[in-house]
Structure 1
Amino acid sequence: MSPRRWPSWHPGRPPMSMACSCPSMAASRSACSASCRAAATRAEAMRALVLSGGIAHPFAETSAAMAGILADAGLGAEIAPAGPGLDRLDENWDLVVINALAFTMTQSEKYAPLRAAHAFSISPDRRAALRDHLAGGGGLLGLHAAAICFDDWPEWGDILGARWIWGRSGHPSPDYLEVTPLSGHGLTEGLRRFRVWDELYCDLALAGDARVLATARCREQTRPQPVLTAREGPGRVVWSGLGHDMTSFATPAHRMLLTRAIHWVLRLI
């Protein structure tokens, strides 16, 4: 067997800790910290609701981490299960964050034992609540598996900006990803390429008006895949493909990216 060949940027081993070793991050933090502090000050009266829960991901831990990032960004944050949380969208939230895997689980019989406890179908009333939130100027930030959510709602991919397509989309095993923010947009201004241990979603369908703001690749998928999209409207929307587990959320570069996404969605940058 020939030796394993790694891309030049790949460290060739699993992470030994949750600390980020990316050499570019000190410069990125310096470039972004002033604008982030100013945005956090303006966000102090704003509120966010994190919709959480589902299978195959440590959502309790990552939603708590997301609430901490929101607090650092200046917002008050609450966490709620995805279903009941959707019934609270009339409480005038400035931002709704979806950190969940809420889907019908009808795509494969491997989900059959889990359906009774975890299958989710989004009702017409809850769909209308999300539409109304955005139409009223509220922001939406979808994380990672949000692209798989609400699979019985055809409009969801166009709202979020990205959608998992069963039979086409997939992901390699978690690995180091090389994430490349793209220039020319306020959300990614000053951000640099970084590494994060995460799960890379591949071959998703993007909304026609979704702007790709970052791509990523890994050892098994060297073709860059979109991992950050943004949509403009009465309410702004961002989808981030990152965030499979706590290793990802503990990476400073990823936390900075999420902070910038929060502030952009809320029109603070």
Structure 2
Amino acid sequence: MLLAIDAGNTNVVFALVARDSHGARTIKARWRIATDPRRTADEYAVWLTQLLAIEGYDRSQVSAVAIATVVPRALHNLQVLSAKYFRVEALIAGKPPLDWTMAIDVAEPQSLGADRAVNTVAAHALHAGDLITIDFGTATTLDLSDFSGAYKGGIIAPGINLSLDALVTAAAKLPRIAIEAPQTATVIGRNTVDQMHIGIFWGYIAMIEGLVARMKAEVGRPVKVIATGGLATLFERHTQVFDHIEPDLTIQGLAIMCERAHIPV
């Protein structure tokens, strides 16, 4: 089995990926832990070994470890985790043998985040044509790739939780609210909490719809919109902008890259 690790700014996601009896790629289990670059390999191992056991798996069943990270300081301890506890050298997205199997057609290719590159690889393996891939994470990213799979550029915007944190921190009298659809059908709030829900939720959807419309207008061809990240399913119920939801796009991308490098999954 493959242990795929997506180390983001907020959380590190671990997932076991294997082929089922029909040959289909399947995520057998997934876990997440808050990102902390100071967390040691031993701390990861204690936590992860217990979770593996709860799901009925053992460390010996992991034959490969693949990592995509946007937190450079977290990488070393994850590599030590792989070598010390799984007895394999971790494969790093973007480095041999997990090279990007696509052109990166931007001014500074080296600045493209590993998660965004892996998402693009996965999106094109799963869907054909020109694509906009939206990832709702710490930042919300919108990435354009053409019909050949080449990465063409994108947009980085503050994530919705980051926006809410900034609002609550800067305005002393505003309470902290949950990220959820407003309970009222109107967009004119009658109290502070409703007004905040409306502004954050519908404001964010309006931003996504507006940015996607502008990107599509520049492309000038039909474009599919692929969404991933924890909040994608929440937004899906309130907008028609998404064509497909892929909750585990980064994990799928790591597995696809391993398969292309002839590393069994």
What is the TM-score with the length of structure 2 in the denominator? 0.30
The structure where helix makes up a greater share of residues is 2
Q: Which has the higher contact order (CA 8 A, sep 6+)?
A: 1
What is the TM-score with the length of structure 1 in the denominator? 0.29
